[in-house]
Amino acid sequence: MSEPREPRSARRMFAVSVLASEVFVVLFATLVAHGLRVADRGTVWVAGGVVMVLCLLATGLVRRGRAGYVVGTAVQVLLLASGFLVPSMLVIGGIFVVLWVVSLRVGSRIDVERRARYEAELRHRAEQGQDREAHRHG
């Protein structure tokens, strides 16, 4: 029987999914802002590009530790704030803020449960191994 695999982080997977989706949301919001001429077109594209790069940066950083979650949270604030320039982004940004918070909270709960199950499986296998040894020598 092979050793059980260490569980992967659901929190990380959820966070990466939200951030990767936001790259496309920001791209489309930038196109809308460009069409509505809410600001100079160069400014719109630079701002949109910076937020898209932040999303991608956070996606990579989430795999390495806490910094990715901090950058990801900053992205959520920026998306929500963009609603003051493009009003529909208040709704879309709000939805992504909720998704972000739920991803972090539910993902963390799932990670705790997976860790407990993994450790119980390791203990169970260790006990089975000791029982086999006792039967062999007994």
Among positive and negative, which fits the CA dihedral 22, 24, 27, 31? negative
Summarised one tens digit per residue, pLDDT across range 19-33 is 999 999 999 999 998
Q: For the whole model, what pTM was predicted?
A: 0.83
The pair phi, psi for residue 36, each rounded to 5°, is -80, -10
Summarised one tens digit per residue, pLDDT across range 87-123 is 888 999 999 999 999 999 999 999 999 999 999 999 9
Summarised one tens digit per residue, pLDDT across range 41-90 is 998 999 999 999 999 999 999 989 899 999 999 999 999 998 888 888 89
Q: How many CB atoms lie within 10 A of CB 46?
A: 13
